Structure 1
Amino acid sequence: MELLIGEPLALDLVNTRARDFDALDAPGDFQTWLARQTDRLTAPSAPLTAAGLAAVRRLRGHVESALNAVREGASPPDAAVAALNEAARGAPPYRVLEWRDGTFRTGMGRDGDDLARLLAQLAEAAADLLTDPAVGRIRGCEGPQCRMLFLPAHPRRRWCSPELCGNRVRVARYYQRHKTT
């Protein structure tokens, strides 16, 4: 299964669960997803354990429930907000002063173990998305049985991917128009 990435990180996390595939079921699948997110996320130094994957799955569920509530104009569940805040507190970021190439520079460090750092980054990405005014424009793919979410750059975008779901819909319409009875 080819996972779609390129949406805001929190949406990419929710989209790790596709129609008949879940990248959080196997460490290798999640490692592949993490490798594709290296420009936005610091991956753990070792593959996650089953317990680590379960923790990411729980966080994904809270992100999804908060996003769904906001998309429906409702208040997010208190448990989702609490879980996102707890994950963000688990590995708070801090500025690090570094001396490189004859000058001072600042970087970011994070306390906590690999899993805590990963969960904190994902929770902060969710907080960024949930507080973005564009959150109200998030849509669900109109492809049959597709559960992907996306933030459309164009107001007429209807599918998570024109190559996947868009093509499926076009082929189905063509078949309906041309089938012989």
Structure 2
Amino acid sequence: MGRWLALELASTIRHDGDGGVVDDLATAHGATRWIQAQADLLAGRVPAGGAAVDDGLRTEITELRRAVRALFARVVAPAPPSPADARRLMPADQALAHLNAVAAREAVVPQLDWPSDGVPSARLLSTENDPGVRLVAALARAAIDFLSGPQRVRLRACSAPRCVRYFVKSHGRQEWCKPSCGNRARAARHYQRQRMAADGGSAPS
């Protein structure tokens, strides 16, 4: 299955495996580690070595994540959004405006590369010197690419108990983001059926 930078950003809010929710971007150090882990997806978008994340840049990234998760919730509607932030979602029109504004912070120009022994290809050349601006703009453009691409229609919010992830459906019958979530959901359904049967059996006739 492919990886998408926008989905990776949304997934920095995740289930901790013990009934709670973890925010991988809760600290500047955590945000730096996450950016380093996305080096392959950020290659060619930001300068080698990335940007040093301070609290200001971390706040910009987390605010962009709020916008992305709000737009993900719009995609999966009328199905329920991720329960992690369902009650405090940024309004969709505000999220859209924020995403576009962040993407516009970096001016880029198209450039044509055409080696003498190869085929032509296009790339975007940045005119921005601030690596932090380039980073958040790259994340915003990745979200725009994702939301305007064919994978948008396969985006789902995992419905397994306690899971807060969004995922891209890879086959027709997929209901959960990973097998462990499927096992947990089936166990919960089994428990619910047993409880309903027990309640029905003990009810007066």
Shared fold by TM > 0.5? yes
For 2:60, the aligned partner's letter is: A
Shift of 1:122: 1.1
What residue is the counterpart of 2:8 in the other structure?
12
Alignment-derived partner of residue 132 in structure 2? 115
Alignment of 1:82 onto 2:83: no
Indicate the SS of the match to 2:23.
Answer: coil
CA contact (8 A) 2:76 2:157 kept: no
Change (3 A) 1:72 1:107: closer
Residue segments in structure 1 that go unaligned for 5+ positions in a row:
none
Equivalent residue number for residue 94 of structure 1 = 109
1:28, 1:47 within 8 Å by CA — same for their partners in 2?
no
What is the TM-score when the length of structure 1 is the normalising length?
A: 0.76
Percent identical pairs in the alignment equals: 34
State how far apart, in whole Å, the 2-side matches of 1:53 and 1:47 are: 10
**Aligned partners of 2:25 and 2:34 also within 8 Å:** no
Deviation at 1:35, TM superposition (A): 2.3
Q: Aligned with 1:21: secondary structure?
A: strand
1:13-56 deviation per Cα after TM superposition (whole angstroms, max 9, x unaligned): 11111131111112332233222222221376343111111111
Paired position in structure 1 for 2:200: none
Q: Residue 166 of structure 1: CA displacement?
A: 3.0
The whole-number CA distance in structure 1 between the counterparts of 2:162 and 2:189 is 16
Q: Which residue of 2 aligns with 1:48?
A: 53
For residues 121 and 72 of structure 2, the distance between their equivalents in structure 1, rounded to whole angstroms, comes to 36
Unaligned 5+ residue runs, structure 2? 16-20, 79-90, 195-205
User: Where does residue 63 of structure 1 map in the other structure?
Assistant: 68
Structure 2 residue matching 1:39: 3-state secondary structure:
helix
Q: How many residues align?
A: 172
89 and 166 in structure 1: CA distance in 2 versus 1, 3 angstrom threshold: same
CA distance in 2, matches of 1:171, 1:31: 37
Q: Name the residue aligned to 2:162.
A: 145
Match of 1:166 in 2: 182
Alpha-carbon distance in structure 2 between the residues aligned to 1:134 and 1:102: 34
Tell me, in whole angstroms, the C-alpha distance in 1 between the residues paired with 2:116 and 2:39.
25
Query: What letter corresponds to residue 80 of structure 1 in structure 2?
Result: A
**Residue 124 (structure 1) shift:** 0.9
Q: Which deviates the most, 8-17 or 97-106?
A: 97-106
Give me the CA root mean square deviation.
3.4
Aligned partner letter, 2:26: D
- Equivalent residue of 2:125, what SS? strand
Confirm or deny: 8 A CA contact 2:52 2:132 kept in the other structure: no
Structure-2 change in CA distance of 1:129 and 1:175 (3 Å): same
